[in-house]
Amino acid sequence: MTASNWTLVMEGEWMLKFYAPWCPSCQQTDSEWETFAKNGEVLHISVGKVDVIQEPGLSGRFFVTTLPAFFHAKDGIFRRYRGPGVYEDLQNYILEKKWQSVEPLTGWKSPASLTMSGMAGLFSISGKIWHLHNYFTVTLGIPAWCSYIFFVMATLIFGLFMGLVLVVISECFYIPLPRRLSEHAEQTQRPEDAHKAEQLQDAEEEKEDSNEEENKDSLVDDDEEKEDLGDEEEAEEDEEEDSSAPPVGEGRNDTQGQGPLREVQQVGELEPEEQVPVWPSSVHAEVAEDTLRQRKNQHADKGP
């Protein structure tokens, strides 16, 4: 079975074996597989085998990771056979239809899917690179590090070339807009930009107005607070003055208070009938009356 005729397994019933010539397990099952293939006509089944060294693309399509690997195909539906590669087990697998109890490979895992087709391409490229490396190192006798440098440079050049191809393809498929459409688009976009600019200016002005109002309110509040603090300070000063003021009759200085007091003393020395002082105010009159009463009491106590 090769990459060119593998589509034959999409019709009828098939059994496939993937092997490598250097694989010991594959060599042990070769005789059993040959016997099973000879009896394929009796079992009404087709039998094939794939060399993964020669056909890396098919190993990638079936995603073969272990050797030997066996697959059963029935009308394009693939199943993995995980039993031993013995003739009797293979025969019972077909005659008793044990493959019906095995879950098929569906979706992206199916060898016929687009994903597995891409995987086949990657495996085939890797197989060709490996064959080329063996040709450089075995046939030509070039050191292995020289082969690695060659592949690195080839990868870089290939990547640059693919990038250039993609740029050219994008330029070819790029369809520029007609001149009228572009001018119309610019004309329609200009009013939109102007409207957006006006909206932004209005928003900024509203923010500035709101900030000014807030500043004014804060200044008014500060002035009111200052006035309240001034009133409180004045009230405190008045209280301090009231508390620090001397009592009536005692807070007078000598120049103002000595005259009335001296008059009171002189009146006390006079006889009771002649004591008629004239006081400058009602407060001093009260004080004078108190002093006169004290003097009269003292004279009464002393007697004639």
How far from each other are the two terminal CA atoms of the chain, in whole angstroms?
168
Does the annotation mark 146 as catalytic? no
Query: Could you say which of 3, 10, 13, 23 is catalytic?
Result: 23
Structure tokens at 86: 């013995």
Query: Could you say which of 15, 26, 264, 287 is catalytic?
Result: 26
Count CB atoms within 10 A of the CB of residue 104: 17
Tokens 């890396």 correspond to what residue? 56
Tokens 């079992």 correspond to what residue? 43
Query: In this structure, what DSSP letter does residue 272 have?
Result: G
Does the annotation mark 26 as catalytic? yes
CA distance 3 to 9: 12
List b or e across 231-249, with b for residues whose CB sees 16 or more CB atoms inside 10 angstroms.
eeeeeeeeeeeeeeeeeee
CA distance 298 to 292: 10
Q: Which amino acid is at 220?
A: V
Residue 228 makes CB contacts below 8 A (sequence gap 6+) with: none
Catalytic residues: 23, 26
